[in-house]
């Protein structure tokens, strides 16, 4: 036992783990920079960034493990002087290298978590996802080291690095189920979506199974112990089942995930995804003028809600649905206001062949609703008359003409005075949209 202890202590003093920890940590942090520069902290997206970093970490770890195996192979005769199993030294090397890789992975994970906590994070972290990333890194260590043992040549480390890099780089995210095999290639996760736990579980089983199969296969070959064949068969069966389950997903690793919104309740109620709570003040300031101008019309709203990208942006029953840029690029509040304004339009009516005639009049009203500079339109008289009216006069005019505005049916006669020409829109008929008959009043004269 004393002789075995001396050999183990000599193994522990090797330089490979000392090189692996800082090298892999630096590579992992560099690969995680996209998570650091993101404007919001969404736990699922942070996890995707971390798992995608393993696609760069894994090949480096595999190449380092192969280099270690090739470099230490000439010293095998020292291990043969002891009475221990021929597989013990290899397993101990794998343990040291795996611990070093996991230490670096934890350091990278800690940096991503700290950055997320410093922001207004949302969602829930997935411990299973961290297990998948750690398992994929250990799998690369095992595969690279055993490759160096089987082919102890100087070029082995280079070949392993190139092969694992190609395996990680050639699988596009979300295109095929092959992209889900570790190290998985995950696409960007939009808000209101989340990683599917079943996919993470299958990846964990696949990774652990493949690692166990490689280790058991080597031990069986090195020790000729038939009793290890049964565990090897069971592990291979688990790999097959996990592969079939991942194949059944078709490459879809995400699913819609409802999120409890955060809201600001005065003077409107504005609700957004919790990861974008910083957008509330700007949205409130931008949406309030539009809401006040639409007050009293069928398009009036008192609530603004952020919706997923696949849901339509509409104004229905006093609720305006909007989409937000997840990075909150400059001008996001203005784009949200324009979405609300555009959601007032009847798409089928505005697509009619005769509607382009009234395009200029609609753009004139659109600019006022969004607080923009009035555009130049062919009907200079109507534009001059509309821009000369005061704010209250314009709001009263919109209540009377909202049906025509919504159907893209405004004409020059709609800017002559208070009355509405005898054109009926039963679909939009409301007391506000169809005023009672009254004498013509020329607003331009006041």
Contact yes or no for 370/294 (Cβ under 8 A) = no
Strand partners, 269: 303
Span of 23-32, 71-80, 120-129, 239-248 with lowest mean pLDDT: 71-80
pLDDT at residue 96, rounded to an integer: 85
Average pLDDT, the chain: 82
pLDDT at residue 47, rounded to an integer: 86
Contact yes or no for 403/342 (Cβ under 8 A) = no
- Better-predicted residue by pLDDT, 223 or 374: 374
Query: Token match 């919504």: residue?
Result: 406
Span of 13-17, 194-198, 397-401 with lowest mean pLDDT: 13-17
Average pLDDT over residues 171-199: 86
Q: Kindly state the DSSP code that residue 182 receives in the 8-state scheme.
A: S
Average pLDDT over residues 308-320: 91
List, in order, residues 6 or more apart from 245 with CB less than 8 Å away. 198, 202
Average pLDDT over residues 250-260: 80
Helices 88-117/127-150 angle, 10° precision: 150
Contact yes or no for 262/271 (Cβ under 8 A) = yes
pLDDT at residue 425, rounded to an integer: 46
Residue 81 has pLDDT above 50, yes or no: no
Span of 23-37, 50-64, 99-113, 184-198 with lowest mean pLDDT: 23-37
- Better-predicted residue by pLDDT, 379 or 86: 379
pLDDT classification of 223: cutoffs 50, 70, 90: confident
Strand partners, 303: 269, 319
pLDDT classification of 76: cutoffs 50, 70, 90: low
Residue 353 has pLDDT above 90, yes or no: no
Cα angle, residue 46 at apex, residues 104 and 178 outer, rounded to 5°: 85
pLDDT classification of 245: cutoffs 50, 70, 90: very high
pLDDT at residue 349, rounded to an integer: 81
Query: In the numeric block, which tokens belong to residue 48?
Result: 């995707």
pTM exceeding the 0.85 threshold for the entire prediction? no
| Model pLDDT for residues 412-446, shown as the tens digit of each residue | 888 875 444 444 444 444 444 343 333 333 433 33
Average pLDDT over residues 181-205: 88
Average pLDDT over residues 123-145: 90
Q: What is the distance between the alpha carbons of residues 118 and 266, in angstroms, rounded to a whole number? A: 28
Average pLDDT over residues 167-188: 86
Query: In the numeric block, which tokens belong to residue 47?
Result: 């996890």
Residue in 264, 272, 379 with CA at minimum distance from that of residue 336: 272
43-75 b/e (C-beta count within 10 Å ≥ 16 → b):
bbbbbbbbbbbbbbbbbbbbbbbbbbbbbbeee
Q: Is 300 helix (H, G, I), strand (E, B) or coil?
A: coil
Average pLDDT over residues 328-341: 92
Direct distance between the N- and C-terminal alpha carbons of the chain, in angstroms, rounded to an integer: 107
Average pLDDT over residues 253-264: 86
| Model pLDDT for residues 380-424, shown as the tens digit of each residue | 888 999 999 999 999 999 999 999 999 888 888 888 754 444 444
Residue 212 has pLDDT above 90, yes or no: yes
Average pLDDT over residues 197-209: 93
- Better-predicted residue by pLDDT, 34 or 272: 272
A 10 A CB-CB count for 38 gives 18
């Amino acid at each position: 036992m004393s002789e075995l202890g001396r050999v183990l202590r000599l193994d522990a003093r090797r330089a490979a783990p000392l090189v692996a920890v800082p090298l892999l940590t630096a590579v992992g942090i560099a690969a995680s920079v996209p998570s650091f520069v993101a404007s919001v902290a969404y736990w699922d997206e942070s996890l995707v960034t971390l798992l995608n970093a393993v696609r760069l970490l894994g090949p480096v770890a595999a190449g380092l493990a192969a280099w270690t195996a090739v470099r230490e192979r000439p010293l095998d005769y020292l291990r043969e002087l002891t009475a221990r199993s021929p597989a013990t030294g290899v397993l101990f090397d794998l343990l040291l290298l795996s611990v070093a890789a996991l230490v670096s992975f934890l350091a990278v994970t800690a940096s991503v978590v700290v950055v997320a906590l410093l922001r207004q994070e949302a969602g829930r972290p997935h411990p299973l996802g961290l297990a998948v990333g750690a398992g994929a890194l250990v799998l690369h260590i095992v595969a690279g080291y055993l490759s160096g043992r089987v082919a102890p040549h100087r070029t082995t480390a280079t070949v392993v690095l190139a092969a694992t890099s190609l395996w990680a780089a050639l699988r596009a995210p979300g295109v095929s189920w092959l992209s889900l095999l570790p190290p998985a290639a995950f696409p960007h996760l939009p808000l209101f979506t989340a990683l599917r736990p079943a996919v993470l579980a299958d990846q964990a089983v696949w990774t652990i199974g493949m690692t166990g199969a490689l280790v058991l296969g080597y031990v069986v070959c090195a020790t000729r112990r038939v009793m290890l064949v049964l565990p090897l068969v069971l592990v291979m069966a688990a790999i097959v089942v996990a592969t079939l389950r991942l194949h059944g997903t078709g490459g879809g690793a995400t699913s819609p995930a409802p999120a409890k919104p955060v809201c600001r309740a005065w003077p409107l109620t504005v609700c957004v995804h919790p990861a974008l709570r910083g957008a509330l003040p700007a949205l409130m300031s931008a949406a309030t003028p539009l809401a006040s101008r639409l007050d009293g019309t069928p398009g009036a709203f008192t609530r603004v809600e952020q919706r997923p990208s696949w849901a339509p942006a509409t104004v229905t029953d006093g609720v305006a649905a909007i989409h937000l840029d997840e990075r909150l690029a400059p001008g996001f509040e203005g784009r949200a206001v324009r979405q609300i304004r555009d959601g007032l339009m009847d798409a089928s009516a505005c697509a009619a062949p005769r509607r382009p005639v009234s395009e200029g009049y609609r753009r004139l009203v659109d600019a006022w609703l969004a607080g923009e500079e009035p555009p130049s339109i062919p009907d200079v008289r109507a534009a001059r008359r509309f821009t000369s009216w005061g704010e209250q006069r314009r709001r009263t005019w919109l209540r009377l003409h909202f049906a025509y505005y919504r159907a893209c049916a405004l004409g020059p006669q709609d800017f002559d005075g208070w009355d509405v020409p005898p054109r009926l829109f039963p679909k939009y008929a409301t007391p506000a949209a169809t005023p009672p008959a009254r004498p013509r009043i020329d607003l331009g004269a006041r």
